[in-house]
A and B are shown apart, each in its own frame.
Chain A
């Protein structure tokens, strides 16, 4: 799931549950998750982006 899609779903769910105060926290979490996914040590199934292969 992309970060964009995940965030859309999460925000909708927070609103549905009556937790609008969760919105800024989920947006901050999305930024942190994006950073996590973009880290250069993440392995990749192609093998081309495996940190140990570079």
Chain B
């Protein structure tokens, strides 16, 4: 990175943060601090919801995923529009009518205090740990590639987020997210244009897309009912609906974004904006990854994109094996490039027979290239079983740093950190609000004014920010920490969604029944996790279904006095 890139990077991040603080410099009441004083319009809500969901890893991993596996990942978002419609119809009117600050406050009004505490506690535990990972995940990748000090990167990014989130509350988070999202979208569009401009002159746009298609990278929709396939239309619709409903409907980091709307209509429009825009946006980000793949068919990509790991292999006893594999990979790339040019030429002249032959040659060469990479991954595993062999997160940033011009590099690193900061800000904002509203205000004895609760909210937001930074600093010392956080999230998420499903749709179930059902279900899920090999994503539907069924059963067994008052 050049001084100009650093100037653009630091200037972009600081300007947005300072602008957010300046816009919210006048202190308001608690309502204003936690819900933005109901002055936020649908456009800001829409971008804020989008920015909260799109963490930095979205912009690092998604193009890398398309590079290795193609466009099929877009199907993962197919359930989201339907989940957002359900939230618009059922969730938003209730949250707005009851004027709640947090989603768990609604559980207190619908059921009882203990159910509210349970929901809020599960959120704090899960999201509190996830906030650390939101900072850590991009910091480790960018610092590895750029040679930055990881601890300082984590500290600086985390501190900047804490400052503007604590200073301006929900409104500052929403305002900064609007501009962070604008930088993200502009940056990705510029990256796309640069990739297209960097394709060889004798390869047209249509030929480039055709090459990607022939090499199996453009299969965006798969209607097969194969349960072994990770991404299909059906798994996207069902799994995506389930995950989106729990994330957008019950996670305070999202709920806080849309209940801040001026009115019910503004909140709904903000979500409808996401229901319409999110899938094309993900398609576009994946398409950027596919174009990076096409670009690398004409430029020599490294055999493994994580250069730090590659250097470790080069300096180890496996250096000769690496050299041999690199040589084989180089030959494979040369043969592939020649085959692609022949294919493009055959397409131009419309020779069907030649197209078919080159298609088969390319498929075989692509499989050969992947086999060579797999051999290298085996070598890395043999050398050190703790090293990460999935390099897809490093594909896009390697391209950015090696092929984009000065200035644009700084802009795209700003994209990555803007995404990290926007997600973290929402998380800290929600964690601080939930701790203040659902615990501190409930447990505090005696009356206190708004100023007191704003101070408390600022204190708790700072505290969660410090915990997130410490967790991110500690993360590198713990094996498979990201996966551990994901597992922890899945263990709790299904139970929380189950409580909300009962709250919204099963009116005869009361507090004691749902609380007992949630505890039993949580125990079942934890026992299953300890004793079975089932994939952890399945704990979401299992936990939700267990809460719904058990709460109905328990409620029907309770004495009639409990049915009335519980």
Q: Are the chains A and B members of one assembly? A: no
